[in-house]
Structure 1
Amino acid sequence: MQNKFKNKYRIPSARLQTWDYSNNGAYFITICTQNREHFFGNIQNGIMQLSEIGKLAEQYWFEIPNHFPFIELGNFVIMPNHVHGILIINKIDNPTLSSTESVETRHCLVSTINLNTTIGSSRFQNQGKNTISSIVGSYKSIVTKMSRQIHPDFAWQSRFHDHIIRNSKSFDIIQNYIFENPLNWKDDKFYK
């Protein structure tokens, strides 16, 4: 039986429930536009031609380390209706950061944190400002705000997909996949 929140069925979290998403590591992120609408431009001869909204999505992705100094960026690509990128959390060089710092995110539901629960056991628990969810949420928020000045119907899919990259071989395969994604657009599962 599915849980309900405000009398609506809720979909279980796609995040790995036993993983702390503020941990150092590399994360492969995919974010789709709502209904997979082609807001970001189009692909011609295997090369992505960015629309004005696509240019905003690109600009704000590359600004992520300015706002989250513990983030390094791996490969990134904008496709007509989604983005792929690698975010690398590296807090080793900044020991003053803590995953328990106060929460300052705007788009997360907040509940009391119960320290006796399993990591990620509550989908609606705010995971903190130094997590993959808060970083992606901040990125989606600024792109939405600025994009709606160009196209008022712009929206993201409500969730995003992540994959924890566990070794260098997997990292290299994903980096290559991202780099070659425009060349393989017609075979992409997001192609309409």
Structure 2
Amino acid sequence: MVLSDIGKYADEQFNNVSSHYPYAEIPLWTIMPNHLHAIVVISACRDVARNVLEKPTAGYAACNVSQTESICSDGDVARYVSTNPTDKNEYMAERSPKQGSLAVIIRGIKSSITKFANENNIDFAWQPRFHDHIIRDTSELNRIANYIENNVANWKDDEFYTP
């Protein structure tokens, strides 16, 4: 399979995932013209993920109301934005992907590749979600690895294949 510029960049991102997410590695992946497959291994030690986070300076940072009011249409502008890590928005905390999760890794990779596409004026879009499957034993790992490795050979059978 000959990779496009985006495919080459995606390949780099998968190859270097551990430098961005020290609790994760991607030992096997394949990049197809319209999709990709990867086995993502996440360390059982989730504390590593929590320690990677930057700790913002405690306290409050002043927010320039005159500038934010022109940006915000509803006029409900906070005068101060908390930078204290203990001041969390509980609603968003419950719904946001948790550090150390597969969703955080995938979001980071997709974001990086999208940024690359935009900076290089490449027309590109992701499908909004991803399919995941927990691999529970060696036989399942071997079956999925075999599927990923042979996916390129099956490209001719894909409904989006064009010679």
TM-score (norm 1): 0.58
2:126 counterpart letter in structure 1 = W
| 1:97 has 2:67 as partner | no
Alpha-carbon distance in 2 for matches of 1:160, 1:96: 25
Partner of 1:77: 30
Partner of 1:57: 10
What 5-or-longer segments of structure 1 have no aligned partner? Answer: 1-47, 105-109, 115-124
1:157 counterpart letter in structure 2 = Q
Preserved CA contact (<8 Å) 1:101 1:128: no
**Which has more radius of gyration?**
2
Query: Which consecutive segments of 4 or more residues in structure 1 shift more than 3 A?
Result: 98-104, 188-192
Which is bigger in relative contact order (C-alpha 8 A, separation at least 6)? 1
Q: Write out per-residue CA displacement over residues 23-67 of structure 1, whole angstroms, 9 at most, x where no aligned residue.
A: xxxxxxxxxxxxxxxxxxxxxxxxx10111110111111111111
Q: How does 1:109-148 map to 2 (within 5 A)?
A: 111-113=91-93, 125-148=95-118
| 1:178 has 2:158 as partner | no
1:97 counterpart letter in structure 2 = V
State the identity as a percent: 38
Partner of 1:158: 128
Alpha-carbon distance in 1 for matches of 2:31, 2:44: 27
Aligned-CA RMSD value: 2.9
Q: CA deviation at 1:150?
A: 2.7
Q: CA deviation at 1:187?
A: 2.5
- Give the helix-richer structure, 1 or 2: 2
When residues 157 and 67 of structure 1 are mapped into structure 2, their CA distance, relative to the original with a 3 A threshold, is same
When residues 102 and 49 of structure 1 are mapped into structure 2, their CA distance, relative to the original with a 3 A threshold, is closer
When residues 141 and 55 of structure 1 are mapped into structure 2, their CA distance, relative to the original with a 3 A threshold, is same
TM-score (norm 2): 0.68
Preserved CA contact (<8 Å) 1:103 1:129: no
Preserved CA contact (<8 Å) 1:56 1:147: no
Alpha-carbon distance in 1 for matches of 2:53, 2:30: 32
Q: CA deviation at 1:102?
A: 6.6
Partner of 1:122: none
Q: CA deviation at 1:153?
A: 2.4
Alpha-carbon distance in 1 for matches of 2:8, 2:49: 33
| 1:169 has 2:153 as partner | no
